[in-house]
């Protein structure tokens, strides 16, 4: 396999981010598709889930990914929001299984660490790094779209079938962080 195509999904009922990337053996990513599936907040839950499913199904059929990665649901203050996110996540995982695709979930901190080198990065930092990694003129908007691309890249770099070209299996952001730490340690040792 010369490259891995991953569909990343940032699940949500109001806005569900979807992003498809190709990642080559040297871990370089390229944008294939990015978008946001939107549903009206006042529509019945069944209709909203059906709209999310239809949007994801269309991306699966059009772009034929090799794997699907979904952001793992985490506890939030607002139980209504987390319930909708969990339901959209379940739809995404079901569709991946129906398509016979391997699927995985990644926590927000895993995704942030993979693309920025820092697990507590904010939305703007993630958007900025996605633009740099994928060589885009501007960060993807809204944040849900950038998050979906970050999830896809995280999966390709961390658990995908792309063999690392160098760096012992680290993502490019993690490799840059490791290099900076190595330089700092050398500087500290030489200062003693």
In contact, 91 and 16? CB cutoff 8 Å = no
Residue 61 appears among annotated catalytic residues:
no
Query: Which one of the listed residues 10, 22, 110, 147 is annotated catalytic?
Result: 10
137 is in an annotated binding site: no
Active site residue 144: yes
> Phi-psi bin for 176: left (phi > 0), alpha (psi -120 to 50), beta?
alpha
Q: Are 105 and 98 in contact (CB under 8 A)?
A: no
| Catalytic-role residue among 22, 110, 144, 147 | 144
Question: In this structure, are strands 103-106 and 67-71 parallel, antiparallel, or unpaired?
Answer: parallel
Written as six digits, the tokens of 106 are 């990644």
Catalytic residue selected from 22, 71, 110, 147: 71
Q: Is 10 annotated as a binding residue?
A: yes
- Is 137 noted as a catalytic residue in this protein? no
Q: Is 98 annotated as a binding residue?
A: no
* CA distances in angstroms from 43 to 16, 22, 78, 174, listed in the order given: 15, 35, 19, 42
Which residues are part of a known binding site?
10, 71, 144
Which residues are part of a known binding site for Mg(2+)?
10, 71, 144
Which residues form the catalytic set? 10, 71, 144
């Amino acid at each position: 396999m010369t490259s891995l195509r991953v569909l990343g999904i940032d699940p949500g009922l109001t806005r569900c981010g979807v992003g498809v990337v190709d990642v080559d053996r040297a871990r370089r990513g390229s944008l294939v598709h990015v978008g946001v599936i939107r549903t009206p907040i006042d529509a019945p839950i069944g209709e909203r889930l059906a709209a999310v499913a239809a949007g994801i199904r269309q991306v699966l059929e059009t772009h034929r990914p090799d794997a699907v990665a979904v952001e793992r649901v985490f506890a939030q203050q607002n139980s209504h929001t987390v319930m909708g996110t969990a339901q959209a996540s379940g739809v995404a995982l079901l569709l991946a299984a129906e398509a016979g695709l391997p699927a995985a979930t990644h926590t927000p901190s895993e995704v942030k660490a993979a693309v920025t080198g820092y697990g507590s990065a904010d939305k703007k930092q993630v958007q900025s790094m996605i633009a740099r990694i994928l060589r885009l003129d501007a960060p993807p908007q809204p944040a849900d779209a950038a998050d979906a691309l970050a999830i896809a890249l995280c999966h390709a770099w961390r658990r995908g079938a792309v063999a690392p070209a160098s760096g012992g299996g680290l993502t490019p952001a993690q490799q840059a962080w490791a290099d900076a730490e190595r330089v700092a340690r050398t500087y500290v040792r030489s200062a003693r």
